[in-house]
Amino acid sequence: MAMHMFFEVRIRYEKTMENGQNKKVNEPYLVDALSFTEAEARIINEMTPFISGDFKVKAVKEVNFSEIFFSNEESADAYFKARLAYVTLDEHSGKEKKTYTNVLVQAADLRDAVKKLDEDMKGTMADYKIVSIAETKIMDVYLYKPEEEK
Fold entry, domain 1-63: Ubiquitin-like (UB roll) (3.10.20)
Name the pLDDT band for 150 (thresholds 50, 70, 90).
very low
- 95-99 average pLDDT score: 90
How far, in Å, CA of 52 to CA of 15, rounded?
9
pTM for the structure as a whole: 0.88
Q: Which pLDDT does position 6 carry in this prediction? A: 97
- At 43-93, the pLDDT tens digits run 999 999 988 888 999 999 999 999 999 999 999 999 999 999 998 888 888
Contact indicator for 83, 102 with CB cutoff of 8 Å: yes
Q: Where are the beta strands (DSSP E) in the chain?
A: 6-16, 22-32, 55-63, 67-69, 78-89, 96-107, 127-135, 141-142
Contact indicator for 9, 39 with CB cutoff of 8 Å: yes
Pairing of strands 6-16, 55-63: antiparallel
Q: Which pLDDT does position 16 carry in this prediction? A: 84
- 11-29 average pLDDT score: 91
Q: Which pLDDT does position 54 carry in this prediction? A: 87
The type of residue at 89 is L
Q: What are phi and psi of 75, to 5 degrees?
A: -75, -15
Q: Is 3's pLDDT higher than 80? A: no
**65-137 shares the fold of 1-63:** yes
Burial 95-131 (b: 16+ CB within 10 A, else e): eeeeeeebbbbbbbeeebbbebbeeebeeeeeebeee
- At 117-132, the pLDDT tens digits run 999 999 888 889 999 9
Q: Which pLDDT does position 41 carry in this prediction? A: 96
Across all residues in the chain, what is the average pLDDT? 91
How is the chain split into domains, by residue range? 1-63, 65-137
CATH 3.40.50 fits 65-137, yes or no: no
How far, in Å, CA of 100 to CA of 31, rounded?
22
